[in-house]
A and B are shown apart, each in its own frame.
Chain A
């Protein structure tokens, strides 16, 4: 074989070696800026992230050859936090880059504990300036037995909370519950419960 042929084969061998090493990867950082712990899935992997914590993963994109082949990939980030409603979003990760996905509060939450001796059947809420209560806020009609606690997400605003309890389905309303995005409000409910108004700032002297 001539020198040209040998050179051509060597060039092809070097070319082949180069081709097999063109994996594309990118980094995804998920920062939990919400007030509560995030639990969910990142590209099918179960993940929990503490408040102000972060999760980092390397996403394998694929193989490419020069300008041919993938340079990005989309992965699904899904989950929820007490102050973040359940979501599922597609995040695009580019090869060789770090993509940051931020989880932020988009709701407030009520931590409701049943201190009464009977089961709470339903909880409904209405805006303070409305007379109409919405649907049952308990998941899949799950009740709250005595001593148990449930978390209920509520948008920012002033809410009246209607509690349906006991076999006779008594109704009671807790009025004037002010809630903000990212805020957790704890109610240890019993009959005749009155929601304490927020402490007013001390008068200036």
Chain B
């Protein structure tokens, strides 16, 4: 069975600091991580591989060159193959364009049985790419997966809703988006870290041309939603007591 896991490298929003003077977020120097929900997606794939050594786990990301760290980390967790989609033409893509690119890449891969995505990214928070990708590829999709199993070429999953869950089933190939309740992602194996950075690592770079994607559907100029910078204003706490000064540590 071939599983493709879609991951995204995002800024660690836990570690974002505030510029005291302007009240806005400081973006520089913020460490990058694999999006948390995507870690659950990867863990789900690796757990299936634990049960059956014939399972092949490929991890794919559309990202700038720096996203390599995310893919190497995935390899160090146990993924078999990493595919890095990187091209100037992808820059500024919104969810439509991103899903278009990923779909083209998946069509190139061809023989996948299961696509697993995280529910949503902590920087965009849209939760759109997974479902869009399923639609572009014509795959049945189950979202908000909190429990899953694969048997007889079908996937069974519990889809979380506010008041409980739906039990759903789909034939393979199918696409799932998963939530953090699904599992606890494993840690990296130090030996796999060295393997991930060695010549033995199965790491590919694909450009727009490699995947044959329609250039009129991708990039900033073709994104229905342009990147909007949301400025976050934090108002410092004001004390009405005469004596207490405002500490810069709070």
**Is A bound to B?**
no
